[in-house]
Amino acid sequence: MGLTGCCVAEEERRVRANAREYNEKFQYANNCIKTSKYNIVTFLPVNLFEQFQEVANTYFLFLLILQLIPQISSLSWFTTIVPLVLVLTITAVKDATDDYFRHKSDNQVNNRQSQVLIGGVLRQEQWMNVRVGDIIKLENNQFVAADLLLLSSSEPHGLCYIETTELDGETNMKVRQAIPITAELGDTSQLARFDGEVICEPPNNKLDKFGGTLYWKENKYPLSNQNMLLRGCVLRNTEWCFGLVIFAGPDTKLMQNSGRTKFKRTSIDRLMNTLVLWIFGFLVCMGVILAIGNAIWEHEVGICFQIYLPWDEGVHSAFFSGFLSFWSYIIILNTVVPISLYVSVEVIRLGHSYFINWDKKMYCAKRRTPAEARTTTLNEELGQVEYIFSDKTGTLTQNIMVFSKCSVNGHSYGDVQDMVGPKAELGEKPEPVDFSFNPLADPRFQFWDPSLLEAVKLGDLHVHEFFRLLSLCHTVMSEEKSEGELLYKAQSPDEGALVTAARNFGFVFRSRTPKTITVHELGQAITYQLLAILDFNNIRKRMSVIIRSPEGKIRLYCKGADTILLERLHPVNQDLTSITTDHLNEYAGEGLRTLVLAYRDLEESYYKDWSKRLHRAGSVLEAREDYLARLYDEVEHDMMLLGATAIEDKLQQGVPETIAILTLANIKIWVLTGDKQETAVNIGYSCKMLTDDMTEVFVVTGHTVLEVREELRKAREKMMDASQSVCNGFSYQEKLSSRLTSVLEAIAGEYALVINGHSLAHALEADMEVEFLETACACKAVICCRVTPLQKAQVVELVKKYKKAVTLAIGDGANDVSMIKTAHIGVGISGQEGIQAVLASDYSFSQFKFLQRLLLVHGRWSYLRMCKFLCYFFYKNFAFTMVHFWFGFFCGFSAQTVYDQYFITLYNIVYTSLPVLAMGVFDQDVPEQRSMEYPKLYEPGQLNLLFNKREFFICIAQGIYTSILMFFIPYGVFADATRDDGAQLADYQSFAVTVATSLVIVVSVQIGLDTGFWTAINHFFIWGSLAAYFAILFTMHSDGLFWMFPNQFRFVGNAQNTLAQPTVWLTIALTTVVCIVPVVAFRFLKLDLKPELSDTVRYTQLVRKKQKTQRRCMRHAGHVGSRHSGYAFSHQEGFGELIMSGKNMRLSSSALSSFAPSTSWIETLRKKKGCEGSSAGSPSGAADKTLKV
């Protein structure tokens, strides 16, 4: 067997209780966890290694080394090292701060206290000191420290109750049970003598499976997942329990499902790395050209001037002079990518992060929780998201079940009524029903339709039978802490809501024993004999109880899915079934979770015969489940319909609207949940991900590879067949002509895909993942149910692998951490399930609805601002730097600079830095309200239209064009121009001042044209920078500085003399006009002939500016009839058998406690992008349909 941590994988695990020395020889991991990336020793080398993975940082380090060589450097080394160190320091401090919080979280968890049995005595130990083989005592409401084998508990038969929120997101309790042989080990002296050995599977990430064997006293006992308590669970309603540590720390299933902390970079960062390499190649080409020119000039011309223009020491040939000139030009021309670019990018990102933190519209007053940008490196990628992967419980929903409506004998109850009778309008709710007549009513329960209570009081037999069923047909446990103070322990929140509803309407479930149930019906205590529980499971989708009343009548009560129960009713129920089905459709259309209720009276003789057969089936060893299923199916026939219930799984506020708007922004939303299929699908309808207008919802539930493959194939065939039948020949051929690699991209209709966890495990295998992704991407909505945390991460990784799209994962629990870390952007909801998701996230807030604002406002603006910033930055620096290239042809390729060296130093730091920073931080094309109203505005970011290789080359071309005019217009003017006194105007210093002044004015006018949203700060920075330029220019050319530093400031008096000449100002004006007019003309024509959506929105805004009320683009549509089943019941199989056995009965009462115009140019580009993505090896995605608001 391999050892943990070795290169050989562990094949099995051997653990002996109370034997640390024996277990230590296997070198199992201890219980200390680590989610941080660095420590004090590794921080500097690892962080620098990560930072120098950025090509730009390596590039600047290379330039710094060159500048340290005096023979080739014409610029001071400090101009590079200071900004480089500044960038590295800022990034390192940010990374260190992030990692500090991870260390803090790790220490908080590792230092939790646990009671460990050592030497027969319970000792307080930190979690990090717990070892495999230790026996731990847990108390009520404590977190489980490691993966434990449950040995014994305070409950009868070694039972204990746990909450698995951090593992699968479910808040309902689950039951675990010790094996009988260890359940009797109740005190520490017995446990200290326990020396059993467990041989089990090695560490893995399967939350729902465990296989092993306990060897003790020469016997062996099989172990399963029902005997295990996993790290991250919380002990509930159990005073204490003891467990044997099987897996610790990183080997626990929770940590096995947690992804590694990954270094995240945006697509713009990755593009920048490529562009820097291209620019460096361009720089080398320019250096080679100028070096060749230098060698030729020195060989042909320079050789003749050696007397007064000798070569530098060590230069003995024209070739070597050209070689040195090459490196000199590399240094001079390096400003095409100045390091100030990266400083500015970090400043802009920091500003965007503060805007998110300060946004009052993303502040939750109820929880006093603001939005938080936990990273500053991903802001612009928020404007490029195409796929959102969301958890369900706690993210989309509040996980609070409320009894909302019901149908009894054809009458629907629960609609809010006003005094006259018709349904009340929203906001006009009457007072809730008064349950004060019932001393046992739950004060937290509210119902708004008084007619249901009136029916109870008037003695309506159908209503009485309805609530009697709800009070009897369940597996809820009841605890009475004091007289009249009932506390229900429900395995699922659905059951708790139904039993609580019956309680408030006068049918109070009071207590139970293995064979009886006591109910207070309208104040009268009645005890029913419990004959059988026909337990719930996902195949049956129903549960039943068989009850004998005090009068001796035997009756079966059943509740379950409408799709199952309605076909098992007696034919006499036909008319009632029709009415109830209408009610069910109405409830399901509102997104409510529905159950149908029915009953059947049984003859005594029939029941006795059936009971004997049931007893015999229970003792069968093989195919026991099949025998029981047939018997259950037999008795659950010819039932009488009572009615239906409708429970609201409360969505978080604004979820349907948020999903609708994000969908209009062409963002695909996939729900990845650990919840059961029916519950997840129901929430899909509630939040409008799934609609009744969809062509079909495909459900994949195969248990084998072949079954899953076949179901996926059939789904694709149906989509293709429907598309071929709907599309006419022209439109279909037109779609195919766009070179789409898959016909699925041309489908007509809307589809959804629902897939279970066991099917997903096969679908994610290497030979089927492309088929799964192709099918899923052709669907409008995808819901993955019963998935493990690792499967969530695998789905995200699959989309990242094959689709050229930015992914975002959002969740609120520890089970979402792996998914959050895997996605390009991770968002944590600070909700009910702890802070693990928040700590692992890049952004956090308290409600799902804030995601809309984060993406459509902050994300879109961040992307827009960053793209405009980069385009302008490259433009201004190419315009600045390329002048040196042209000047090289007129200065003998001597690597002499056009400008004064102080202008070169200050150009990017002072003269042009603040205006572009202001644009990068504050600019916006449309106000935030319009960004929300017109979701289509988000699409340019998804298509990466605003900054890409094409836009980069356009900026470079404009910069080169500007540099040509900037050099040759003054050069041509100065060739023949004279001063006012008749002297020749042309001299090097005057030319340098003229070109520099022209450059500063032209780029300042350009930034004014590029700025779309003017603030006082923009005005101040633009005009202030111009003023600063002239102030510094005149200062540095002043007599005072020359007298103090004659070797440093040699341009004495030049600015005053040059700028006093009208010819110079005319030259500057001509240069500015010729540089700017083509840009203005091009933009005017583009705005007039081919406006973008943002241009149209701005025009619309100007038209509406004086209107008091603005039309909203989205109208709330009324509910339509539903055709889908609203059944959902988050319940587990096994509780019924447990109750009937009496094993879980308490011995004491103390422990069980927009409108958007069609943008054809965007659609065309999207199709082109799809073709490129497909040709790059990615599978086909979904068809991109024009979205309708």
How many angstroms separate the CA atoms of 383 and 941, rounded? 6
DSSP state of 361: G
How many angstroms separate the CA atoms of 233 and 143, rounded? 6
- How many CB atoms are closer than 10 A to CB 193? 11
> Which residue, among 910, 1091, 1088, 933, has the nearest Cα to 1004 in the 3D structure?
910
How many angstroms separate the CA atoms of 619 and 301, rounded? 109
Residue keyed to tokens 């699925």: 744
DSSP state of 910: I
95 catalytic, yes or no? Answer: no
The HSE-up count of residue 133 (CA atoms within 13 Å, CB side) is: 22
Dihedral in degrees, nearest 10, Cα atoms 312, 317, 318, 319: -110
Q: DSSP secondary structure string, 831-882?
A: SSS-SHHHHH-SEEES-TTHHHHIIIIIIHHHHHHHHHHHHHHHHHHHHHHH
Helix or strand or coil: residue 135?
strand
- CA triplet 1133, 818, 27: central angle to 5 degrees? 90
DSSP state of 335: G
How many angstroms separate the CA atoms of 153 and 162, rounded? 12
Q: How many Å separate Cα 997 from the centre of its chain?
A: 49
- Phi and psi for 1115 in degrees, rounded to 5? -110, 140
- Phi and psi for 258 in degrees, rounded to 5? -95, 125
How many angstroms separate the CA atoms of 1025 and 1012, rounded? 19
Tokens at residue 1072, please? 């500015």
Amino acid at 429: K
Contact in structure between 830 and 909 (CB atoms under 8 Å): no
Find all residues with CB under 8 Å of 214, minimum gap 6, and list them: 149, 179, 181, 182, 196, 197, 198, 220, 221, 223
Tokens at residue 718, please? 């149906």
Find all residues with CB under 8 Å of 751, minimum gap 6, and list them: 694, 695, 696, 697, 698, 715, 719, 778, 779, 780
Q: Where are the beta strands (DSSP E) in 333-375?
A: 372-373
Residue keyed to tokens 């949203």: 1013
Find all residues with CB under 8 Å of 1068, minimum gap 6, and list them: 994, 997, 998, 1001
How many angstroms separate the CA atoms of 307 and 728, rounded? 85
- CA triplet 234, 240, 243: central angle to 5 degrees? 75
351-to-844, 865, 908, 922, 1021 alpha-carbon distances in Å: 17, 11, 19, 9, 16
Find all residues with CB under 8 Å of 1048, minimum gap 6, and list them: 1041
How many angstroms separate the CA atoms of 682 and 587, rounded? 11
Does an H or E element contain 957, and which?
helix 949-976
How many angstroms separate the CA atoms of 534 and 631, rounded? 10
DSSP state of 540: T
Q: Which of 391, 842, 900, 925 is catalytic?
A: 391
Catalytic residue IDs: 391
